[in-house]
Amino acid sequence: MADAPGVDVSAQRWARADVEALMAAPFAELIFRAQEIHRENFDPREVQASRLLSIKTGGCPEDCGYCSQSAKFETGLKAKKLMDRDTVLAEAKRAKKEGASRFCMGAAWRSPKDKDMSELCAMVSGVKALGLQTCMTLGMLSDSQATQLSEAGLDYYNHNIDTSPEYYEQVISTRTFEDRIQTLERVRASGMNVCCGGIVGMGEKPEDRIGFLLALANMTPPPESVPINALMPIEGTPLGASEPIPAIEFARLIAAARILMPASYVRLSAGRENMSDEAQALCFLAGANSIFVGDELLTTNNPGRAKDAALFERLGVKLV
């Protein structure tokens, strides 16, 4: 499948028609093109392994319709205080021992308090000293907070746009799409890498998935890491009864992301617990080359070490 006429691939600038064409392309052609681009930029036999730890759980004032950690929803989740540094470092050591190369720390905040920044930065420095890449997701950041995290050595900051700009208000009302973009701009200005993606299966339409990909691919530059999550429906949340999208459509989204963002890590993120081995294999064939390892992702289940090891042995893929 040829590149769309007039698209400057090197600058990663895409028109909506380009993304529509990708999502409408014959599936075999789309996968073939994604594989070509994947192999030009990465070793297709390798998948990057990240570990995600909730360092502060629950009690969030936001109303993200998919999230069990919102204080606005009755999900049965109990709020916990910020985890102490020694416990975080112990978890990071375990993650490295079990094969993770990146350690991600998430806190259920609208934004971190300045009084917590010193401890958060110490966590970053401590994890980095173990030889792991570091990532955090703490909500919205001020210029000063982004600078502090960068100076502490944080490699990636995760701040998802969640969905398309057009569908965004159907998912969350307590912060705007532009709020998220401003935090991403602060992260980029501080010198950190950007980790940014979203969730599908939240009741959005196919055109919203196109808008979601378009917003990511036209960031300057695109995110270095792009987590694509399949909604894990949680009872008590507004989106808890959402219908999942079919596996082939999910793989199509992964393939389009790979083509639109050739040099980015595309992470097959939340939702793997509900995917068959065959569905996951299709996503790796489509260009996904990063996963979260471990039994839990913040507050939802994830395939464990043994299950992943068996799958990757069958696929002839190694975690790095």
Tokens of 76: 């049965």
38 CB-near residues (< 8 Å, 6+ apart): 44, 258, 287, 289
Does residue 85 carry a catalytic annotation?
A: no
pLDDT at res. 8: 38
What's the whole-model pTM score? 0.93
Active-site entry in 33, 51, 67, 121: 67
Q: How does the average pLDDT of the chain come out, rounded? A: 93
Cα separation of 157 and 168, whole Å? 21
Q: Is the pLDDT of residue 289 over 70?
A: yes
* One-letter amino acid of 45: R
| Widest CA span in the chain | 54
Active-site entry in 33, 51, 121, 135: 135
267 bridge partner residues: 227, 290
Active-site entry in 33, 51, 180, 195: 195
Does residue 283 carry a catalytic annotation?
A: no
Cα 173 from chain centroid?
21
Does residue 67 carry a catalytic annotation?
A: yes
pLDDT digits (tens, 9 = 90+) for 92-144: 999 999 999 999 999 999 999 999 999 999 999 999 999 999 999 999 999 99
Residue 32, classified by CB atoms within 10 Å of its CB into exposed (0-12), middle (13-18) or buried (19+), is middle
pLDDT digits (tens, 9 = 90+) for 159-214: 999 999 999 999 999 999 999 999 999 999 999 999 999 999 999 999 999 999 99
Active-site entry in 102, 180, 252, 267: 267
265 bridge partner residues: 225
Cα separation of 234 and 67, whole Å? 8
Active-site entry in 33, 51, 102, 104: 104
Cα separation of 188 and 166, whole Å? 24
Cα separation of 147 and 170, whole Å? 32
Cα separation of 67 and 236, whole Å? 9
Does residue 121 carry a catalytic annotation?
A: no
Domains of the chain: 27-319 (3.20.20.70)
